[in-house]
Structure 1
Amino acid sequence: MNKYEILSIKPQEENASKVLIIYTGGTLGMVYDNQTGSLIPFRFEQITENIPELKRLNLELCILALPKPIDSSNVSPAIWTELVEIIEANYEKFQGFVVLHGTDTMAYSASALSFMIQNLKKPIVFTGAQLPIGIPRTDARENLITSIQIAGSTINRKAIVPEVCIYFNGRLLRGNRAKKRESSQFDAFDSENFPYLAEIGVNIDYNFLNIKILKPETETKFYTKTENNVGILKIFPGINASFVSNFFKQKDLKGVILETYGSGNALSDRWFLEELENAIKKGITILNVSQCTGGRVIMGKYQTSQKMKEIGVVSGTDMTLEAAITKLMWVLGNESTNPKELLEKEIAGELTNY
């Protein structure tokens, strides 16, 4: 961890909680270069000059920037492991963490960390921006300020939101329930299958009934292993046997997310079911999630999904695609004997047990 420099961007306040801001890259941390007109990385040691409101927070703020900020389109499991190692190394020193991240893959990263860091006692709040911090109409200021407040907020010295979440444009979402839905509006994220953890207007109104209960007796666990030999097979009208067969012939393939119609339905052709069954017999885990943004997979509701259930396809219930793929990667990286049982089990609030 010595390769990371932690910069204090706000002097220590007496009895103040400490919040660590981790900058991975993304629009929030960019400003326009007046000479070239192009975007360049923001110098965070000057952040209180650009966002003076931070000086009024009763928090000690520190920042750690990855040595090479990345575009979120280039995020990989290696970056998730790096974030886990950073948070683990600083876990006892800070009350909460804010991860500044590009929006395109934020829901994937938030979902991944919800599985790779379990039994959290402290908030990990992902946020970003649709517009760079250095322009007048930017959403970066409010997103950053509110995320820091949430990360540092406690009741009776206990974190209010002890889980991985995403804050964007007045909404606090469970990280593994969120999806990016807009590329050109400020309300970039939503959560179809789970209520907001908080709604932010004049006040921060926490939805305490839906925030994970802090369990002080449980040990926080950090995982750094994932299985990356996984894939996503999206069902569509006209999908052919050759395509599916070649998909499952990929070398070292260990797991597949099957994106099906509606409540978990797919074509009932014999060749298709045989391809799935043969893949499962070879040890490939297949997890069924819906292409719909809302609702859930109900294996067996219709005849086609009943047959998939019988051959061993696992139900993803109401998980998002982002949660399903990252959970599959985590499960296969850490559980080799019975992945099906762990996939069907609620780990970090990612699915609803009916």
Structure 2
Amino acid sequence: MPRLLLIHTGGTIGMAPGPNGLAPVKGLVESALSARLTDDITLVANVFNPLLDSASVGPTHWNAMLEAIRAHPGVPTIITHGTDTMSFTGAALSQALVGEGRRVILCGSMVPLGENGDAEGNLSLAIEASQQEGEGVFLAFAGQLLRAEGLVKHHSHDPISFRALPQAPLPQPKSRTFDERKFAILTLSPGIAADTLAAALATLDGAVLRVFGAGTVMACPVVLKAFEDAVKAGKRIRAVSQCEGGGIIPGSYEAGAGLWEAGVENGGDDTPEAALIKLWLN
């Protein structure tokens, strides 16, 4: 009998009103999913304890998801998850699972189950998508099945909250799980102090750097020296554009030359989330 793996991490889809607002309710997602399955599919549930707001999801939880997926070879998977960090989890699982032949469908909602919102439709779409052919990680949301390696949450509360940006083909990762190294996303802004960047980089093993436009940076030798010193210390810095589309194009502007001379990596079309995961896995 075919099986379907549910990994329920938490998020709005599995919440209900409580005395202090929306809070996770155990069994809600499992019951809703079971009720929508045909009789010939056996549901295998892996439920996080405690259930998490996605703001708390990080590398250790990605490892837990990967462990559960790999413990059920050949079984399609639905992961219910909050929307706030869905793009990070999408990038993490997409890159970690390259070449393993797995089909994983992420699912969440802006309104909980039972509240006449988007949850039921998203869950039904996830079930349908899980039974289709083909490997990869996808997001079932607002009537669309989106590839998850380049997700962007572009709206904080609209039902159509996500879009998927095209990404370069995913490489085979050097690592299949997430270690305890410290990475972060840093954003350039006019007037940012070089010592602020240097202090942040000193505490990190590497960083994604959101730069201007097609790959430019302020004409400040001290800022560029902070990047150069970090790279010389063995810290990887991967540049991505602050623009949602277009990516990085080295050589477009002289104002970007200092980045590459300092040893900063070209993130190309990477979303910040995808670039962050590449620091861990590649």
The reply to whether TM is greater than 0.5 is yes
Alignment match of 1:315 (pick from 236, 249, 266): 266
Q: Report the AA paired with residue 102 of structure 1.
A: G
1:43 matched to 2:27? The reply is yes
Q: Which residue in 1 is equivalent to 2:198?
A: 245
Q: Which residue in 2 is equivalent to 1:260?
A: 211
Could you tell me how far 1:171 is from its partner in structure 2?
1.6
Could you tell me how far 1:59 is from its partner in structure 2?
3.5
Take 2:161 and 2:190, find their aligned partners in 1: how far apart are those partners?
A: 29
Take 1:222 and 1:244, find their aligned partners in 2: how far apart are those partners?
A: 28
Alignment match of 1:86 (pick from 59, 68, 89): 68
Alignment match of 1:117 (pick from 91, 94, 97): 97
Q: Report the AA paired with residue 88 of structure 2.
A: Y
Q: Which residue in 2 is equivalent to 1:100?
A: 80
Take 2:7 and 2:212, find their aligned partners in 1: how far apart are those partners?
A: 38
Tell me, yes or no, if the aligned pair for 1:20 and 1:64 is still in contact at 8 Å. yes
Alignment match of 2:244 (pick from 293, 312, 324): 293
Query: In structure 2, the residue corresponding to 1:28 is in which secondary structure?
Result: helix
Query: In structure 2, the residue corresponding to 1:24 is in which secondary structure?
Result: strand
1:88–1:55 Cα change, 3 Å: closer
Could you tell me how far 1:285 is from its partner in structure 2?
0.8
Could you tell me how far 1:134 is from its partner in structure 2?
2.1
Q: Which residue in 1 is equivalent to 2:153?
A: 180
Query: What is the 5 A alignment of 1:200-211?
Result: none
Could you tell me how far 1:249 is from its partner in structure 2?
2.6
Tell me, yes or no, if the aligned pair for 2:12 and 2:111 is still in contact at 8 Å. yes
Taking only the aligned residue pairs, the percentage that are identical comes to 30
Alignment length (residue pairs): 281
Residues 213-248 of structure 1 show CA distances to partners (whole Å, capped at 9, x for unaligned) of xxxxx9x99822335312222111111222223223
1:242–1:222 Cα change, 3 Å: closer
1:140–1:180 Cα change, 3 Å: same
Take 2:185 and 2:51, find their aligned partners in 1: how far apart are those partners?
A: 27
1:311–1:222 Cα change, 3 Å: closer
Q: Which residue in 1 is equivalent to 2:11?
A: 26
Tell me, yes or no, if the aligned pair for 1:234 and 1:260 is still in contact at 8 Å. yes
Q: Which residue in 1 is equivalent to 2:114?
A: 134
1:330 matched to 2:281? The reply is yes
Query: In structure 2, the residue corresponding to 1:259 is in which secondary structure?
Result: strand
Could you tell me how far 1:268 is from its partner in structure 2?
2.0
Deviates most, 221-230 or 314-323: 221-230
Q: Report the AA paired with residue 300 of structure 1.
A: G
Could you tell me how far 1:42 is from its partner in structure 2?
4.2
Q: Report the AA paired with residue 110 of structure 1.
A: G
Q: Which residue in 2 is equivalent to 1:274?
A: 225
Query: In structure 2, the residue corresponding to 1:68 is in which secondary structure?
Result: strand
Take 1:28 and 1:57, find their aligned partners in 2: how far apart are those partners?
A: 24
1:69 matched to 2:51? The reply is yes
Name the TM-score, length of structure 2 as normaliser.
0.90
The structure whose Rg is larger is 1
Q: Which residue in 2 is equivalent to 1:306?
A: 257
Query: What is the 5 A alignment of 1:139-150?
Result: 139-150=118-129
Query: What is the 5 A alignment of 1:181-220?
Result: 181-193=154-166
Query: In structure 2, the residue corresponding to 1:110 is in which secondary structure?
Result: helix
Take 1:221 and 1:61, find their aligned partners in 2: how far apart are those partners?
A: 32
Could you tell me how far 1:138 is from its partner in structure 2?
1.9
Tell me, yes or no, if the aligned pair for 1:84 and 1:222 is still in contact at 8 Å. no
Uncovered stretches (5+) of structure 1, i.e. residues with no partner: 1-14, 154-158, 195-209, 213-217, 332-354
Uncovered stretches (5+) of structure 2, i.e. residues with no partner: none
Take 1:319 and 1:79, find their aligned partners in 2: how far apart are those partners?
A: 22
Q: Report the AA paired with residue 279 of structure 2.
A: L
Residues 131-174 of structure 1 show CA distances to partners (whole Å, capped at 9, x for unaligned) of 11021x22111111111111112xxxxx23x1011111012111
Take 2:82 and 2:29, find their aligned partners in 1: how far apart are those partners?
A: 20
Take 1:312 and 1:129, find their aligned partners in 2: how far apart are those partners?
A: 41
1:232 matched to 2:149? The reply is no
Query: In structure 1, the residue corresponding to 2:106 is in which secondary structure?
Result: strand
Take 2:42 and 2:84, find their aligned partners in 1: how far apart are those partners?
A: 29
